Structure 1
Amino acid sequence: MNRYLVILMRKPHVDPAVVSMHRDFLDDLRAQGRNEMNGPFGDGSGGAYLLRANDLDEAMAIVQRDPAHISGGWEITVHAWQAS
């Protein structure tokens, strides 16, 4: 499996209820062995998670199921991660 860095930047109006649904989504990914790590940025502007997927298409399909994506409350980018 490959690694993908998913970066989420908050938009001005984030629904607080979506934050807990997003965290539950990340917990489910961790239980599946798909989420290696995640966390918020110290300045509160957003956060990131390290996703495991077979390819970029699969990574994007997983991210599109994230409540953060569905709600539209975050700008989300996905980058292939090549750790050294």
Structure 2
Amino acid sequence: MNRYLVMVMRRPHFDPAVVQAHKDFLEGLRAGGRLEMTGPFGDKSGGAYLMRAADMGEALSIAHQDPAHTSGGWDITVYEWDAR
């Protein structure tokens, strides 16, 4: 499994009601052994999470299921990350 850094940046029209669904999604990833770290940025502009996936295709598929993405209120960018 490779590591992928998922950057989640709020758009001006994001719906605050989706935040809990996003957190629940992340907890599901954690329970499934996919999520290593997660957290918001101090300025509340968004956040990031570090997850494991077999390849970029799988990482994108997982990230695109995030309610932050499906709601259209956040920009999601996924990077393969050789974290140490």
Q: TM-score, normalised on structure 2? A: 0.97
Q: TM-score, normalised on structure 1? A: 0.97
Deviations 1:49-81 (A, max 9, x none): 001000000000001110000001011100001
% same residue? 67
SS at match of 2:17: helix
Q: Which runs of 5+ in 1 are unaligned?
A: none
1:43 matched residue in structure 2: 43
Q: Which runs of 5+ in 2 are unaligned?
A: none
Q: Distance in 2 between matches of 1:51 and 1:70?
A: 18
Show structure 1 runs of 4+ deviating over 4 A. Answer: none
Q: Distance in 1 between matches of 2:19 and 2:62?
A: 17
Instruction: Report the number of matched residues.
Output: 84
Aligned-residue RMSD, C-alpha:
0.6
1:80 matched residue in structure 2: 80
SS at match of 1:16: coil
